[in-house]
Amino acid sequence: MSRCFPWNGRWSTKPRSSEAPLALVKGAGDLATGVALSLHRAGFRIVMTEIPQPLAIRLSVAFAQAVYQGSHVVEGVRAERTDPQGWRTAAERGSVAVLVDPQASILGVAQPLVVVDAIMAKRNTGTSRRAGTIVLGLGPGFSAGVDVDAVIETQRGHELGRIIREGSARTDSGVPGEIGGRGSERVLRAPADGMVVALKQIGALVREGEPVARVGELTVNAPFDGCLRGLIHDGLVVSRGIKIGDVDPRGQSQYAGTVSDKARALGRAALEAVLEIGRERGLVGLAAGPRKR
């Protein structure tokens, strides 16, 4: 069952010169996608790395969907699943290149100007300042000035999107930020170990108690009236308690097909950090390629 809420606008690929700066984004979930969109629109070539079976929830607005479908469009920007031999061609024709490369082993070959760790693992899984000329980390688990050049605050609230040049982001609270007055209750979790079977599509309006998915023999029901904002990929085998979906109490289907305010804020913060650090280091004209002042 396809659960991708469609992008109703047109998409187009604007070729990128091989001299355009390259940004590598680790992870391709919805927040990583927000970062990739901002950098792509600023003229960067983009390559993203993912695991073989991404666990992204908001698949309609996550370039991780390209791992499953071969390609995917988010807000008019196309991503293509590619391989270590084809990513340059995809990026230069204006697509976001998505590689199944959990260890980001492409780093040595790609030699990106910018590296953004957007895996959202709440810990550093192997990123260092040696990975690129400018290295950023999203959320907790990184220390600015130690393993990355800057950290972007990901916790909802007044500090969301703050660029941290010394120290770390706030520790993960484990409590989802509120949307429409709903916090933890909007998150759907697997009631048991088993395979996920989607019963509703992303973007569907649901009623309280209505079945939206099945895990093994157990049904997962909507906790309240709203819109099914996200659902993990159909057919994945998951463990009990893992997040598999998200219901938006605002009940606006169109929100399921556009990047969230949080992802957009993080993307713009990442771009600002790149420009700020790049200027400090004498890199100018980033959209046309790095040049020494």
pTM here is 0.89
Q: Is the pLDDT of residue 3 over 50?
A: no
Residues 164 and 210 in one domain: no
- Answer whether residue 13 is part of any domain: no
For the ranges 9-23, 72-86, 238-252, 257-271, the lowest mean pLDDT is seen at 9-23
Handedness of CA 18, 20, 24, 28 (dihedral sign): negative
Q: 222 is in which domain, residue-wise?
A: 184-248
- pLDDT level of residue 289 (50, 70, 90 thresholds): very low
Cα distance between residue 275 and residue 21, in whole Å: 12
pLDDT value of residue 285: 56
- Average pLDDT over the chain reads 90
**Residues 213 and 244: beta-carbon distance below 8 Å:** yes
Q: Identify whether residues 42 and 121 lie together within a single domain.
A: yes
Between 266 and 291, where is the model more confident?
A: 266
128 and 193 fall within a common domain: no
Do residues 242 and 264 both lie within one domain? no
Claim to verify: residue 76 and residue 147 sit in the same structural domain: yes
Local confidence band at 8 (pLDDT 50, 70, 90 cut-offs): very low
Residues 270 and 235 in one domain: no
- 81 shares a domain with 204: no
CA 202, CA 43: separation in Å to the nearest integer?
A: 30
Residue 8 lies in a domain: no
Tell me the chain's radius of gyration from C-alpha atoms: 19
Domain count, the chain: 2
